[in-house]
Amino acid sequence: MNAFVDTHAHLCDAAFDADRDAVIARAAAAGVARFVEIADSPDDWERAAALARAHPDVARCALGLHPYYADRYDDGFLARLRAALEAAPEAVAVGEIGLDYAKAQVPADVQRRAFSALLAAGRDWDIPLVIHCRDAYADLLPMLRDVFDAPPARRRFHGVVHCFSGTPEQAQDCVARGFALGADGPVTYKKNDALREGLRRAGPDAVVLETDSPYLPPQSTRGKRNEPCAIPEIAAALAAVWGVPVEEAARRTSSNAAALFGWP
Ligand SMILES: [Zn+2]
Ligand SMILES: [Zn+2]
């Protein structure tokens, strides 16, 4: 059976309060052997770590500050994040962090200030980064270039640009900077040829699978709550893009995820 990794899920979301354990069991039954729980703000850090701790064979977590909450960044933030990471051995990344010029209420300059500090901290602490970027690639790429002027040394990737939604050229830029690309439900939507072309060019050694549950359901469940058992549908779409069997897409994206998070 395939062993997929869902590299980006929000299973602590209230949308899963009624049936969280069933969702995790359904993922395992669908071949999703592992997932990474993403905490968007300090309010979620402890819960995300506790969820990962409760499922040590299948879960890890990332602790971050989503651009929606970037105005909560202050002088003491990095020290608090560092302490939370040290208290949670199940935390394998900082994230999500990033820029969102589409939906975030926080002004762009406030987002950039928090994001650049968090990028530099991730580099200095040698921990992978989970990056959220919506309608902000023109600012993202120079910021990545400023902070990461060399290819990753200890790992294959500095981090992942999750839910990649840029152009094919931007996909290649992110990969050239040492970042993996996260592919999720939208890769299955009919209209998204440019997205598929970017992921095709990036190739199966630079892409990881994710659902962003409960958001971004693939074509077959559009409009409904998304969950990690949707990963095989996303993998099948990518396998078609790359012209490889789905087993190979599973194997290579899972190997990328292991390298990304240092989770062998
Ligand atoms: Zn995101
Ligand atoms: Zn997310």
Query: pLDDT digit string (tens) for 197-237?
Result: 999 999 999 999 999 999 999 999 999 999 999 999 999 99
Pair 28, 58: CB distance under 8 Å: yes
Is pLDDT above 80 for 1? no
How does the average pLDDT of the chain come out, rounded? 97
CA of 40 to the centre of ligand 2 (A): 7
- The residues, any chain, with a CB within 8 Å of residue 147's CB and separated by 6 or more, are 116, 119, 120, 123
Paired strand residues for 59: 35
Tokens read off for 176: 């050239």
CA of 132 to the centre of ligand 1 (A): 4
What pLDDT does 78 receive?
98
Tokens read off for 246: 């789905």
CA of 38 to the centre of ligand 2 (A): 6
CA of 102 to the centre of ligand 2 (A): 15
Query: pLDDT digit string (tens) for 34-77?
Result: 999 999 999 999 999 999 999 999 999 999 999 999 999 999 99
Binned at pLDDT 50, 70 and 90, residue 154 comes out as confident
What structural domains does the chain harbor?
4-261 (3.20.20.140)
Across the range 93-102, mean pLDDT stands at 98
CA of 238 to the centre of ligand 1 (A): 20
pTM beyond 0.85: the answer is yes
What is the total residue count of the chain?
A: 264
Binned at pLDDT 50, 70 and 90, residue 153 comes out as confident
Is pLDDT above 90 for 93? yes
Handedness of CA 174, 177, 183, 187 (dihedral sign): positive
CA dihedral angle for residue 60, residue 8, residue 23, residue 259, rounded to 10 degrees: -50
What pLDDT does 49 receive?
98
What pLDDT does 90 receive?
98
CA of 33 to the centre of ligand 1 (A): 22
Ligand lying nearest the CA atom of residue 40: 2
Across the range 141-161, mean pLDDT stands at 93
Q: What order do you get walking across the sheet with 4-9 strand by strand?
A: 4-9, 32-39, 59-63, 91-100, 129-134, 159-162, 179-183, 207-209
CA of 181 to the centre of ligand 1 (A): 12
Across the range 244-258, mean pLDDT stands at 98
CA of 9 to the centre of ligand 2 (A): 6
What are the C-alpha distances in Å from 152 to residues 56, 121, 173?
A: 27, 15, 15
Around Cβ 3, how many Cβ atoms within 10 Å?
Answer: 11
Of the chain, the percentage scoring pLDDT greater than 90 comes to: 97
CA of 9 to the centre of ligand 1 (A): 10
DSSP string spanning 121-177?
HHHHHT--EEEEEES-HHHHHHHHHHH--S--SSSS-SEEEET--S-HHHHHHHHHT
CA of 163 to the centre of ligand 1 (A): 7
How many angstroms separate the first and last alpha carbons of the chain? 18
What pLDDT does 2 receive?
85
CA of 41 to the centre of ligand 2 (A): 11
CA diameter of the chain: 49
Closest by CA position to 199, among listed 217, 174, 222, 177 = 174
In one-letter notation, the amino acid at residue 79 is A
